[in-house]
């Protein structure tokens, strides 16, 4: 057992930092966010270590037992997700300072919002209470919307408004579903509801409402329309957090609810339905990414595609021969995607910082000025494509093993097509970066030097995504602490 109450601290530390930043002000204490971030990283590391050593961890807020109190619960999956959040969060915190200063954005809005968002993310990953999860989901929307609107131009505001509308509708649907579940089981505790739930009409409607609500929040096809404008118009550090963490938190919740609360409803046709939407998202997102002429929209569409992979868990997990592989592969994919996507957005931020825009054509001849960022972008793309030696490759291998080993060819084909399309859009970007500059280029656009810390943070994230390709065994061991019961 750990000495610290790490589970609540993972939520309250970033929240407290946000409050302090708000009260004290960034001008007087510019080191505050970093301090809070480092403390959170330590606490989260403590959670991961305790889960690895002693199995799933519980904490009852205020000492109140469920059903009255709220339970915080960390199994392997939750521990890994807060760990991912901490790594990406630390990078975003390091990166945002110089980026915002350089772009003339006000940190006053950014820092409290971002830190509350971090707290909320940890809240979602660590809560085992359906109503508490609803509160966290709402809070997440309320922090994500202003971050998406921070550029404050017409397109950013429109995108943020669209996002707000869909996300609120999503929360509403989720809340209705939770109410139905409470009505039929009399409990809000995630595991208890899962044990009590019968496969009846009320449960089916609740599952449908919750699934639809979370689809909207996770931008799963066909409710994906808000994601691209919202994620690509936000300032780069916010985009990184939105794509790598916020949208993924909704998918995380979706999968957790299906595996822990609704396993009685998870039949093969239901799995195929959700998996089919995921597969559509994979192909649609990748094809759209291929058509973009700007870097950030391209990376945002890639997120739509990559989140689709995660839904393939549901059709595969119902087949015993594929279940464990799918569970391992999808979780690994979620982690690697988080690191790689954050790296890609931060690297794109460097392009914007240097050039003033993110048109692909602008990458011509930029290599000498941005070699570190372009290397990070290249490595991140390799991870997103599932190319060895990155962690994305191991995730792809695992899911493929599950799909092919159980004779489910369709998902294997989706996976292969998705990664080939990812290769196509990735190399569209990288080939422009390798192209020789147009004549007289330097005179037209004097590039602006990018601070070193902004160059190194995406590289570090991308390298982590690569290092995850060396061995997945430690991560998978941690993941198997408290794995869902549907696994054989």
Partner 1 sequence: MIWLIEQLPLLTILASLLTAVIIFMLRDRRRRARTFWNLFGAVTKLVLVVFMLYAVISGVELEVVWLVLPDLSFRLAADPLALLFVMLSASLWLVTTIYAIGYLEGSGQRARFFGFFSLCVAATTGIALANNLFTFFIFYEALTLATYPLVVHRGHPAALQAGRIYLTYTLGGGALLLVGAVMLHTAVGDQPFTPGGVEAVALWAADSPLMATLVIGLMLAGVGVKAALVPLHSWLPIAMVAPAPVSALLHAVAVVKAGAFGVIRIVQDIYGAEIAFELGITPVLAVLAAITIIYGSLRALAQTDIKRRLAFSTVSQVSYITLGVAAGGPLALIGGVAHLVHQGLMKITLFFCAGNYSETLGISRIDQLNGVGWRMPWTSVAFTVGALGMVGLPPLAGFISKWYLGLGALQQGSYWVLAVLVLSTLLNAAYFLPVIRRIWLLPAAPIGLKRHDSGKLESHAWLLYPALITAFAALFAGAFAASQWSPLSWAERIVEQEYPLDER
Number of residues this chain uses to bind partner 1 (CB under 8 A): 35
Enumerate the β-bridge partners of residue 294: 359
Q: According to DSSP H, which parts of 235-366 are helical?
A: 236-241, 247-260, 268-291, 295-311, 313-317, 320-355
Q: Which stretch binds partner 1 (CB under 8 A): 253-261, 271-279, 286-294, 466-474?
A: 466-474
Nearest-angstrom CA–CA distance, 402 and 423? 22
Nearest to 137, CA basis, from 221, 214, 40: 214
> Of these, 62, 63, 65, 436, which contacts partner 1 (CB under 8 A)?
436
Closer residue to partner 1 in complex, CB, 24/420: 420
Look at the block and give the residue holding tokens 């809005």: 109
Nearest to 393, CA basis, from 404, 381, 405, 403: 381
Tell me if 40 sits within 8 A of 10, measured CB to CB. Answer: yes
> Prior bond to 260 cis, omega within 30?
no
Tell me if 244 sits within 8 A of 345, measured CB to CB. Answer: yes
> Of these, 6, 187, 288, 401, which contacts partner 1 (CB under 8 A)?
401
290 near partner 1 (CB under 8 A): no
Nearest to 255, CA basis, from 95, 454, 487, 3: 487
Q: Which stretch binds partner 1 (CB under 8 A): 144-152, 166-174, 220-228, 416-424?
A: 416-424
472 near partner 1 (CB under 8 A): yes
The contact mask relative to partner 1 for 146-185 (x = CB under 8 A, - = no) is ----------------------------------------
Closer residue to partner 1 in complex, CB, 174/381: 381
Among positions 333-392, residues that touch partner 1 (CB under 8 A) are 367-368, 371, 375, 382, 387-389
> Of these, 110, 118, 397, 425, which contacts partner 1 (CB under 8 A)?
397
Closer residue to partner 1 in complex, CB, 299/374: 374
Q: Which stretch binds partner 1 (CB under 8 A): 93-101, 194-202, 262-270, 425-433?
A: 425-433
Nearest to 346, CA basis, from 89, 123, 22: 89
Read off the DSSP letter of residue 451.
P
The least CB distance from residue 356 to partner 1, in Å, is: 23
Nearest-angstrom CA–CA distance, 139 and 119? 10
Tell me if 196 sits within 8 A of 156, measured CB to CB. Answer: no
Closer residue to partner 1 in complex, CB, 288/419: 419
Residue 320, classified by CB atoms within 10 Å of its CB into exposed (0-12), middle (13-18) or buried (19+), is exposed
> Of these, 12, 131, 427, 445, which contacts partner 1 (CB under 8 A)?
427
302 near partner 1 (CB under 8 A): no
Closer residue to partner 1 in complex, CB, 311/426: 426
The least CB distance from residue 419 to partner 1, in Å, is: 7
Q: Which stretch binds partner 1 (CB under 8 A): 21-29, 345-353, 414-422, 446-454?
A: 414-422
Enumerate the β-bridge partners of residue 59: 72
Q: What six digits make up the tokens of 420?
A: 């080939």
The least CB distance from residue 456 to partner 1, in Å, is: 12
Contact residues toward partner 1 (CB under 8 A) are 328, 367-368, 371, 375, 382, 387-389, 393-394, 396-398, 400-401, 404-405, 412, 416, 419-420, 423, 427, 430-431, 434-436, 469-473, 476
């Amino acid at each position: 057992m750990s000495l610290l109450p790490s589970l609540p601290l993972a939520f309250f530390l970033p929240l407290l930092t946000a409050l302090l930043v708000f009260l004290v002000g960034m001008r007087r204490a510019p080191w505050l966010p970093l301090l809070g971030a480092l403390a959170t990283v330590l606490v989260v590391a403590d959670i991961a270590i305790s889960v690895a050593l002693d199995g799933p961890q519980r904490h009852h807020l205020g000492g109140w037992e469920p059903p009255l109190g709220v339970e915080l619960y960390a199994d392997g999956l939750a521990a890994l997700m807060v760990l991912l959040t901490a790594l990406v969060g630390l990078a975003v915190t390091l990166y945002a300072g110089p980026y915002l200063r350089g772009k003339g954005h006000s940190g006053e809005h950014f820092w409290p919002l971002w830190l509350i968002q971090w707290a909320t993310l940890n809240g979602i990953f660590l809560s085992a209470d359906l109503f508490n999860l609803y509160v966290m989901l709402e809070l997440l929307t309320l922090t994500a919307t202003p971050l998406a609107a921070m550029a404050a131009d017409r397109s950013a505001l429109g995108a943020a408004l669209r996002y707000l509308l869909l996300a609120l509708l999503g929360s509403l649907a989720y809340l209705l579903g939770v109410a139905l579940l409470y009505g039929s089981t009399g409990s809000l505790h995630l595991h208890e509801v899962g044990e009590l739930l019968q496969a009846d009409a009320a449960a089916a409607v609740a599952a449908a409402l919750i699934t639809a609500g979370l689809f909207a929040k996770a931008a799963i096809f066909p409710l994906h329309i808000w994601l691209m404008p919202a994620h690509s118009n936000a300032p780069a550090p916010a985009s990184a957090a939105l794509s790598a963490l916020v949208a993924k938190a909704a998918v995380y919740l979706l999968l957790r609810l299906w595996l822990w609360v609704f396993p009685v409803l998870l039949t093969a046709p239901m799995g195929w339905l959700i998996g089919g939407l995921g597969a559509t998202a994979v192909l649609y997102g990748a094809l759209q990414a291929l058509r973009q002429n700007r870097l950030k929209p391209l990376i945002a569409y890639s997120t739509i595609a990559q989140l689709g992979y995660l839904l393939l868990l549901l059709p595969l997990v119902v087949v015993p021969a594929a279940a464990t592989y799918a569970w391992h592969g999808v979780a690994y994919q979620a982690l690697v995607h988080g690191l790689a996507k954050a790296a890609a957005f931060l690297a794109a931020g460097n392009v914007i910082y240097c050039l003033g825009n993110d048109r692909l054509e602008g990458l011509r001849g930029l290599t000498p000025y941005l070699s570190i960022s372009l290397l990070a972008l290249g490595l991140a793309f390799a991870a997103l494509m599932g190319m060895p030696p990155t962690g994305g490759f191991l995730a792809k291998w695992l899911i493929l093993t599950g799909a092919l080993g159980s004779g489910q060819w369709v998902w294997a084909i989706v996976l292969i097509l998705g990664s080939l399309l990812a290769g196509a859009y990735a190399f569209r970007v990288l080939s422009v970066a390798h192209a020789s500059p147009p004549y007289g280029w330097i005179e037209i656009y004097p590039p602006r030097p990018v601070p070193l810390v902004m160059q190194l943070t995406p590289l570090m994230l991308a390298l982590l995504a690569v290092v995850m390709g060396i061995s997945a065994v430690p991560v998978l061991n941690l993941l198997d602490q408290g794995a869902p019961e549907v696994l054989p």
